[in-house]
Homo-oligomer: A and B are copies of this chain.
């Protein structure tokens, strides 16, 4: 299957707009922005914006700018996240902080945030601005909360969902709402699109968290199990801890936070034996299904088809990769549970 829900000319349009807004003739900042724009991102947030906007005819220029603004906000948060996580790679090449410095990254992120707000403001969309600024506040406070709970073996599944809401789902949903507002869709439709974005965001982040354990580090652009090593206990880990037979041993290994990397083989073994990775994938699929259910409330047509296509595009490739890359590991059913 080869999903391509957003026709290439539209993606190209967003990229060109980003370039014209961010590369403006100041040598130093242009260099940094050009480096960031050369990265081959998946452009998921612009794809979401365009798919939602396709439900209704739109004023020329608004959709591309909402898409560009939300991509800038995503870029800013990645650049700052890489400073926060001291990450060396991003999108398969050196991260901005490792290529330039933390200092440049902090400023580049601020520059991107300011540029995004300037662009939204240009179209006089105060409701979109309210939504986007509130979303960023949620993202930041969520991340500060996450930092406070690193290596905490007592975090619950509810904590995990709150965390991935702040990390991913709230911006996905905000993309849907912003595009719906710019396209002047009804509050009922906006509500369904919000639900769709949220569920897609949850599905996407859970798979991302599974991939951290099983995908090829080269493909992932970061070392394997980096979440676990850095104390970010994701859904597979929480599920394994709940396992009657293996949970106590998992807990024991995680309590000794300095030896997590050394005990990785055993930890991976438990994740497989307890089917925690498989169950996490099933949970992700459940969220995709919920996203599709939300779409049922939206009148059928080309626009709705774009949204359906997009959910497949976002996740089917991921699921396929998982099966392709790590068939053996995940397919081991083990005897536990």
Count the copies.
2
A93 CB to nearest B CB, Å: 20
Is A129 an interface residue when CB atoms closer than 8 A count as contact?
yes
Is A126 an interface residue when CB atoms closer than 8 A count as contact?
yes
Residue of B at shortest CB range from A21? B137
CB neighbours (8 Å) of A137 from chain B are: 111, 114-115, 118
Is A32 an interface residue when CB atoms closer than 8 A count as contact?
yes
Residue of B at shortest CB range from A124? B126
A129-152: which residues lie under 8 A (CB-CB) from chain B? Answer: 129-130, 133-134, 136-137, 139-141, 143-145, 147-148
The stretch among A101-109, A199-207, A291-299 that forms the contact with chain B is A101-109
Check B118–A134 contact: CB distance below 8 A: yes
Is A258 an interface residue when CB atoms closer than 8 A count as contact?
no
Is A328 an interface residue when CB atoms closer than 8 A count as contact?
no
Check A29–B140 contact: CB distance below 8 A: yes
Is A80 an interface residue when CB atoms closer than 8 A count as contact?
yes
A135 CB to nearest B CB, Å: 8
Is A186 an interface residue when CB atoms closer than 8 A count as contact?
no
CB neighbours (8 Å) of A102 from chain B are: 83-84, 102
A118 CB to nearest B CB, Å: 4
Secondary structure of the A side of the interface? helix
CB neighbours (8 Å) of A147 from chain B are: 28, 101, 103-104, 107
CB neighbours (8 Å) of A124 from chain B are: 126
Check B104–A26 contact: CB distance below 8 A: no
Residue of B at shortest CB range from A110? B140
Q: A133-B117, A141-B111, A148-B28 are in contact. Are A80 and B106 (CB under 8 A)?
A: yes
Is A213 an interface residue when CB atoms closer than 8 A count as contact?
no
20 more contacts with CB within 8 A, not counting A84-B106, A118-B134, are A26-B145, A29-B140, A76-B110, A83-B103, A103-B147, A104-B147, A107-B144, A107-B147, A109-B110, A110-B136, A110-B140, A111-B144, A114-B133, A114-B140, A115-B133, A117-B133, A118-B129, A118-B133, A121-B121, A121-B129
24 A-B pairs (CB sep. < 8 Å) = A26-B145, A28-B141, A28-B144, A28-B145, A28-B148, A76-B110, A77-B110, A83-B102, A84-B106, A101-B147, A103-B147, A107-B140, A108-B140, A110-B140, A111-B137, A111-B140, A113-B136, A114-B134, A114-B140, A117-B117, A117-B129, A117-B133, A121-B129, A121-B130
